[in-house]
């Protein structure tokens, strides 16, 4: 017989493979889990008792403030103050309840992000309009009270039966002389056993059974409290989505502002650095050219003239590039003045209208992007529409607050948002700002470009 045959005997057919040596059996796993349940019983009992007390206080206070506040509303609006006190009291008791429930080992309940107010009226409006405040009050008015009373009663009865039954042999003898009755007496009459023996056996077994089931009861009741609190006190899923949206909007606004700051810094660097050096170079070349005059050889004069022309062209390119970032007039005098300057340089007449409030202060990044969009719209009208007149209008919208920029020409129409072209680039730019761009350009005109940019 080979060594392989000696070390690998086949398993008999129809018999399940035996577990490896030292592996925990299913029974051992059950008792370990059962022991873990018992480890949480003291906290669960304490939390159920504390939640019962809290529910009693919150129930009384919620009903008192709500009924008294409703009755006092006609009296100089004092009722609203009483109701608000009840709302905040219910909010405090609800927060304490969640802490106790989580203390038992249940999962964390997502907390509500209470809105910060900027003034008294805003605080009053946000308090009374908050669905979470009223849910906390509703939680205290009935559900928490009903569940607290039911869970405390069940656990009190279970603990009493478990302790009284299992300890019956130690204290039952003290009441042997009483009138017989109950479950033990029924067993005595049914089986004909001795009354003392039947009572001892029945009550001890009953106590042991209830004691065995006690951790399941406390765990189930703690989960019931957790489920009710999660339903009525926890944050909504929409709250998390709203916070993510607010964070995304804040990050986008920060990115736009950072881009604007970087472009302004680049414009200043160009203006203060190479542009100034080119101006100085152009002045020096012009001075040299004047001093040489007629005495200079022809080739030297030609080279100087060429160098001066190149310096002038480089300076013009740098100025044009700098205006592409943010023209100085925009930085100094604002959007309206910059658009008036752009309209004055246009080869076709431009009518500029503004419905903005006089002295309205626009954010710098909004001004820069609005100027860029208007300039590109005007340039497209000049190059491609064959228009005789262009109209640029500024207005504002509320709820949500947006700047509305309209560029309208009386040209031939037919403009499309084709990928890779100027209008598509404008649309992507406006979308990146969280706004929208619409183009209405039927054949034969007119073409209307409307950009709505969040303010």
Using one digit for the tens of pLDDT, what is the confidence trace for 307-322?
Answer: 677 677 666 666 655 5
Which pLDDT band, with edges at 50, 70 and 90, does 264 fall under? low
Look at strands 390-397 and 350-354 and give their pairing: parallel
Which pLDDT band, with edges at 50, 70 and 90, does 152 fall under? very high
Residue 135 half-sphere exposure toward CB, CA atoms < 13 A: 14
Highest mean pLDDT range out of 140-154, 273-287, 325-339?
A: 140-154
Using one digit for the tens of pLDDT, what is the confidence trace for 230-241?
Answer: 999 988 877 667
Q: What angle do CA 281, 283, 284 make, to 5 degrees?
A: 65
| Residue whose C-alpha is closest to residue 50's, from 96, 117, 82 | 96
Give the pLDDT mean for 315-339: 70
Give the pLDDT mean for 116-127: 78
The reported pLDDT for the residue numbered 96 is 94
What burial class does residue 194 get, using C-beta atoms within 10 Å of its C-beta: 0-12 exposed, 13-18 middle, 19+ buried? exposed
Using one digit for the tens of pLDDT, what is the confidence trace for 407-446?
Answer: 988 888 877 766 656 677 777 777 777 788 888 888 887 8
Task: Give the burial string for 407-446 (b: 16+ CB within 10 Å, else e).
Answer: bbbbbbbebebeeeebbeebbebbeebbbebebebeeebb
Which pLDDT band, with edges at 50, 70 and 90, does 248 fall under? low
- Look at the pTM and tell me if it is higher than 0.85: no
Using the predicted structure, report yes or no on whether residue 39 has a pLDDT greater than 60: yes
- Concatenated DSSP letters for 414-425? -----TTSHHHH
| Residue whose C-alpha is closest to residue 213's, from 48, 45, 37, 30 | 37
**How far does CA 166 lie from the centroid of its chain?**
54
Average model confidence (pLDDT) across the chain? 77
Q: How far apart are CA 225 and CA 399, in angstroms?
A: 40
Task: Give the burial string for 145-156 (b: 16+ CB within 10 Å, else e).
Answer: bebbeebbeebe
Tell me the sheet residues that pair with 394.
354, 405
CATH number of the domain located at residue range(s) 333-454 in this protein? 3.30.565.10
% of the chain beyond a pLDDT of 90 = 22
Tell me the sheet residues that pair with 409.
390, 447
Using the predicted structure, report yes or no on whether residue 217 has a pLDDT greater than 60: yes
**How far does CA 63 lie from the centroid of its chain?**
33
The DSSP output letter for 453 is E
Q: How far apart are CA 136 and CA 229, in angstroms?
A: 9
What is the domain partition of the chain in residue ranges? Answer: 42-112+120-171+180-232, 273-325, 333-454
């Amino acid at each position: 017989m080979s060594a392989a045959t000696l070390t690998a005997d086949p398993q008999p057919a129809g018999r399940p493979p035996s577990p490896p040596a030292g592996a925990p059996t299913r029974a051992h796993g059950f008792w370990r889990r059962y022991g873990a349940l018992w480890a949480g019983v003291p906290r669960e009992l304490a939390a159920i008792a504390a939640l019962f007390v809290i529910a009693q206080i919150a129930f009384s206070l919620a009903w008192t403030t709500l009924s008294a506040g409703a009755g006092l509303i006609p009296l100089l609006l004092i009722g609203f103050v009483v109701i608000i006190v009840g709302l905040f009291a219910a909010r405090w008791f609800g927060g304490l309840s969640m802490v106790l429930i989580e203390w038992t080992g249940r999962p964390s309940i997502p907390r509500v992000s209470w809105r910060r107010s900027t003034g008294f009226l805003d605080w009053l409006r946000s308090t009374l309009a908050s669905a979470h405040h009223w849910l906390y009050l509703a939680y205290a008015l009935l559900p928490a009270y009903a569940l607290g009373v039911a869970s405390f009663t069940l656990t009190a009865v279970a603990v009493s039966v478990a302790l009284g039954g299992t300890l019956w042999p130690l204290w039952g003898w003290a009441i042997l002389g009483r009138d017989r009755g109950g479950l033990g007496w029924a067993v005595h009459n049914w089986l004909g056993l001795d009354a003392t023996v039947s009572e001892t056996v029945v009550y001890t077994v009953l106590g042991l059974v209830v004691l065995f089931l006690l951790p399941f009861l406390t765990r189930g009741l703690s989960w019931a409290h957790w489920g009710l609190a999660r339903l009525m006190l926890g944050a909504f899923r929409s709250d998390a989505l709203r916070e993510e949206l607010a964070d995304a909007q804040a990050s986008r606004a920060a990115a736009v502002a950072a881009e604007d700051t970087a472009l302004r810094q680049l414009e200043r660097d160009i203006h203060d650095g190479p542009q100034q050096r080119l101006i100085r170079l152009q002045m020096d070349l012009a001075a040299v050219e004047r001093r040489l005059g007629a005495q200079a050889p022809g080739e030297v004069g030609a080279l100087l003239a060429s160098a001066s022309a190149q310096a002038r062209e480089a300076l013009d390119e740098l100025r044009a590039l700098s205006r592409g970032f943010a023209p100085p007039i925009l930085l100094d005098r604002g959007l309206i003045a910059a658009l008036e300057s752009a309209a004055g340089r246009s080869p076709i007449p431009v009518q500029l209208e503004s419905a903005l409030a006089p002295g309205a202060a626009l954010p710098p990044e909004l001004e820069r992007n609005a100027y860029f969009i208007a300039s590109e719209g005007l340039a497209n009208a000049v190059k491609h529409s064959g228009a005789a007149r262009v109209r640029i209008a500024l207005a504002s919208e509320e709820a949500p607050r947006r700047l509305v920029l309209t560029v309208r020409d009386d040209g031939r129409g037919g403009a499309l948002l084709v990928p890779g072209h100027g209008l598509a680039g404008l649309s992507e730019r406006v979308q990146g700002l969280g706004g929208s761009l619409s183009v209405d350009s039927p054949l034969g005109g007119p073409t209307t470009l409307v950009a709505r940019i969040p303010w």
